[in-house]
Structure 1
Amino acid sequence: MIEMKSEILSIICIKPSSPTPSHLKIFRLSLLDQLSPTIHGNMTFFYTSNVKILSNLSQTLQDSLSQTLTLFYPLAGRLQDAATVDCNDEGVLFIEAQVNVQLSEFLSQPDFKLIDHLLPSTDSETMGLSNGAMLLVQFTSFTCGGMAISLSMNHKLADLSALVTFLQSWTNYSHSFHKPVVPDFIGPNLLPARDDFPNMSASVNISTAKFTLRRFVFSASKIAELKDRVYERFLQVMKRHPSRVEVVLALIWKCAIAANRSKSGSFKPSALFQAVNLRKRMTPPVPESAFGNFVWPFMVIAEEDNKDDLELHELVIDMRRAFNSFCRDMADKFKGEEGHLAILGALKERGEFFKNRKEMTVYKCTSWCKFPLYDTDFGWGKPVWHVSVNKMVSNTIALADTRSGDGIEAFITLDDEDMAIFEYNEELLKYATLNPSIACA
């Protein structure tokens, strides 16, 4: 067990390198932004380095961040209400810290309890200093010269794709390329926020039950085995090939349902929500550089079918059918004058569905696969690992590419009792490795 101690070296406010023009001072969010929860999501990138003088790297990050904020000016502002940002250039918080361990020690078997040392603090003192900042950054040095860069960004302004656009611009400025990816603030025009949605802003129900986070890694060869297992039946029904994400997610969901059944002694119907990036599924497609929230979940149901065990291929088929149905019938409706009606209808339908299904167990999944997160190079190489830690909500599944690009890491939260069963599931461990070491080389 590593005993990690951290020391804050400095806390400063980074403002845009150029002031925001007066005609851009008030930024109206899109309706999807308006409905997003006012929480900060986090992402941490780990880097090896032989550079001795870390202060130069910190200054490079600060200077390039200041340039980047000129383009992403809402991030340097403050929320005025659920649908408006005051782009007042108050800036973002930048924290520099150091820890007393080597990067290789930490990555030998990542301990998610220790990642708190690397994240911008959410304690009252730091949040008071941040004065409502939309973005907090922490740059942490390890004793070996390795580094961690953590971002904590308000979900009101950005989904993962928007975060990637921000990172691409920041890293380009850090390299002095001066050709950043310019954000496209198309969202408010595509689907404007509405004043008649005052109480509709999404909230995150912080789990009152104790839950556990675990990391499982699926190698390319094991994913191939999973695909082979469902391939014939899937192809027969869907006339297409199953994806990596589908087979891995189906197995995780299957094993989570089994753990819940083992704990309670009976089968409970289950719903799986999967987040979909709407950008490329609209007509015409929205640019990948579109900044804001362009995500909506579709739902897959697993109900009792008088079998002792759910069939993996059936879950994969159900997931693909639900995805196809959503993309065909719903994805293009989240825009224009009728867009708010589509959202109201979807929320009402979901509420009606769950009203009489109090016993249904709900899981939520997001996939970061195929997002170029391992290209986040500030000038001293690509990251050896990246991670986002969920400490608020149970029954979540986040999937990400391994550094090689052909495997999948799964970050799973379950209630303590469920996880105590889930993490020893023989079917799961046939395909996944629990929290293996991360090589720094």
Structure 2
Amino acid sequence: MAISKEKLVFDIRLATVVPGKISGENKTYELKGIDLAMKMHHLKGLYFFTNTKIGIEEIKSEPMYDWLVSYFMACGRVRASSDETGNRASIKLNDAGIRMVEARSNKTVEGWLAMEDFLSLQDCLVYNHDIGPELAFSPLVCLQVTWFKCGGISMGLSWAHILGDAFSASEFMNMWSQYMQGHHKQPKTLAQQNPSKPIYPPLNPSQKPVSLKRIDPVGNHWVNPTKCKIGTHSFHVTPKQLAQLHLRVYGSNKNEIDTSKGFEVITSILWRSIAKIREDLDTKVVTICRPKRIKRKQGVPYNGQVIGTVEVGFSVSSVDPLKLVQLIVENVLDESNIVEELVNKEMSTSDYVVYGANLTFVDMEEVDVYGFEIQGNRPTFASYTIDGIEDKGAILVLPGPKDGDNTNGGKLIVLLLPENEIVSLKNELKEEWYIT
């Protein structure tokens, strides 16, 4: 029986929270081509705490105002044009603030997490906001705190992807933790978090990127007009299960096995499984989004992901998964610079969608989703999803829930696929790979 969202969450209140002092100085930040390529997408973060009792007065307090001073860019508003940037979209750094939402639920945190496919109900806990049609009044960031009857809370983040990638979004939340604890420090750079990522070969400048889908201009309402209904499903792969998947993919060659890294193996298994249920349609080109090694300045979010593609000329549904692993490691073409150039060239005549333009795999393995703490407590469960997905779908690979001593929690896999494919894929993964 369908669950009424209205009964799950109620007593919703909205407010705006601004920085504690003038910070953006009303300057203009010009959006880069890679930012505008992401304009249809939002990152949605969701954090559950079972053992935290905190009131709104403690949340909306001086540490929050100070934190927003550091992140003044996230408190700005989009301008479709300006004197400084002409007809190019920009962010006016006018300290207009973020949206703050309060809500309540009659369920417990444990009860919510026990619901089947509870992430499909995340819009109850993560405020669903668009950019536009009145750009000057649309916040780029929304935070929703929901109190449960057990005394626990959830914290939902809606983050406009034009601001930055998942590393930027999680750093934003983790820095708030530092302010709440009174000892904030410089955020980790992505280079420190991710020192060994491969450098993919760039696409030849004469080639066109296949990682983008061109759509008609959306004007001032930045919402993907797709009619495809995207479903959400998640499952947790434990460290033991991950080790078993590595053994099945790599066989007895143990020298190749590094179970701390799951992205390539998980991607190969899901790529092959989705190709089977699609009968090899729309699966010979995939997009691979992985983080770059970049320097980040405090309070300056950034779209630092590699947008890469892999193209094959064979039937993916019947190939050895190890061959797909090798392709993901060795044959990704980095389209990031070409995407930047194309969007810069055609931004006045076209808009674009990245996630789901092809079947898309997003590496969030090293995003520190459990680094956001409240009153010294880490989340019981944390996840991220993406809005604005096109009809080929997207798969996110995140850290899994950690246990009490903060050891490896495996991987959380989030499927964002056409609704009519979810059940078939779940069955395929269960029968072929024993993943449930």
Q: TM-score, normalised by structure 2?
A: 0.75
Structure 2: unaligned runs, 5 residues or longer = 81-87, 191-214, 346-355, 403-407
Is the contact made by 2:27 and 2:94 (CA closer than 8 Å) also made in structure 1?
Answer: yes
Is the contact made by 1:271 and 1:299 (CA closer than 8 Å) also made in structure 2?
Answer: yes
2: CA distance, partners of 1:165 / 1:312? 34
Give the secondary-structure state (helix, strand or coil) at the position aligned to 2:172.
helix
Return the match for 2:21 from 11, 18, 23: 18
Give the secondary-structure state (helix, strand or coil) at the position aligned to 1:105.
helix
Return the match for 1:99 from 99, 105, 116: 105
Structure 1: unaligned runs, 5 residues or longer = 185-198, 335-340, 349-359, 434-441
Alignment of 1:81-100 (within 5 A): 81=80, 82-100=88-106
Deviations along 1:247-302, one digit per CA (max 9) or x if unpaired, are: 111101111000111xxxx6665221111212x1xxxx424856221123111224
1:154 aligns to 2:156 (yes or no): no
Give the secondary-structure state (helix, strand or coil) at the position aligned to 2:118.
coil
1:253 aligned partner: 271
Return the match for 1:321 from 321, 330, 337: 330
Shift in CA distance, 402/86, structure 1 to aligned 2, threshold 3 Å = same
1:296 aligned partner: 306
1: CA distance, partners of 2:263 / 2:317? 25
1:425 aligns to 2:428 (yes or no): yes
Alignment of 1:28-39 (within 5 A): 28-39=30-41
1:364 aligned partner: 360
Percent of pairs with identical residues? 17
Shift of 1:219: 1.6
Shift of 1:164: 2.3
Shift in CA distance, 108/158, structure 1 to aligned 2, threshold 3 Å = same
419-428 vs 155-164, which moves further: 419-428
1:398 aligned partner: 396
1:437 aligned partner: none
One-letter identity of the residue aligned with 1:73: F
2: CA distance, partners of 1:121 / 1:207? 17
2: CA distance, partners of 1:271 / 1:84? 32
1:414 aligns to 2:425 (yes or no): no
1: CA distance, partners of 2:39 / 2:357? 22
1:163 aligns to 2:162 (yes or no): no
1: CA distance, partners of 2:188 / 2:245? 40
Give the secondary-structure state (helix, strand or coil) at the position aligned to 1:42.
strand
1:218 aligned partner: 237
1:174 aligned partner: 180
Shift of 1:41: 2.2
One-letter identity of the residue aligned with 1:80: R
Shift in CA distance, 71/288, structure 1 to aligned 2, threshold 3 Å = closer
Shift of 1:426: 5.3
1:108 aligned partner: 114
One-letter identity of the residue aligned with 2:309: M
Alignment of 1:54-93 (within 5 A): 54-55=54-55, 57-81=56-80, 82-93=88-99
Shift in CA distance, 308/363, structure 1 to aligned 2, threshold 3 Å = closer
2: CA distance, partners of 1:219 / 1:427? 15
Shift of 1:149: 0.6
2: CA distance, partners of 1:131 / 1:40? 17
Is the contact made by 1:41 and 1:154 (CA closer than 8 Å) also made in structure 2?
Answer: yes
Shift of 1:342: 7.8
2:380 aligned partner: 384
Is the contact made by 1:49 and 1:380 (CA closer than 8 Å) also made in structure 2?
Answer: no
One-letter identity of the residue aligned with 1:251: I
RMSD: 3.7
Shift in CA distance, 361/177, structure 1 to aligned 2, threshold 3 Å = closer
Is the contact made by 1:365 and 1:396 (CA closer than 8 Å) also made in structure 2?
Answer: yes
Give the number of the structure whose residues are more often helix, by fraction: 1
Shift in CA distance, 58/116, structure 1 to aligned 2, threshold 3 Å = farther
Shift of 1:87: 1.0
403-412 vs 127-136, which moves further: 127-136
406-415 vs 249-258, which moves further: 406-415
